[in-house]
Structure 1
Amino acid sequence: MNVEVFTTPTCEDCRNFKKFLSEHHIPFTEFNIADHPDHADTLFNRTGKRLVPTIFINNQVFFGFVFNRQEIEKQLLV
């Protein structure tokens, strides 16, 4: 399973998602767009948006954790 998340340090939803992943021992790759502005360009090129958290699970995209939690849990807690 490939999990990628685009984040910023001030985003509470980003922190909640990373906490969820850690609690369930799910490995992920984080792209902090505040520290690395080139990641924001990558995010925009992949989605046409600059929203955080943007979550990719096996190339399926979710914009936000709270609003998509049930679907994300179905994908990750199999």
Structure 2
Amino acid sequence: MSATTSVPVTASVFDCQNCANTIERVLQKEDGVEAVVADEQTRALEIRFDQSCIEELRLRQLVEEWGYGPEPESG
């Protein structure tokens, strides 16, 4: 069953085309990932995936492992 998730990412993904390409390629290599689009307007990755093959938590972990996780909120 397909689902779509929005994963917030660091601004560097949008400042560097190579960064966006890298994280998109990394995620697309995972079994069950159907599509990845870096959405500059929402500052997030839109990921369509098959829930029977990969969990949303794993997608979020991959983004963070590659150093593209969301920037900490200042407060």
What TM-score do you get using the length of structure 2 for normalisation? Answer: 0.33
- Which protein has the bigger helix share? 1
What TM-score do you get using the length of structure 1 for normalisation? Answer: 0.33
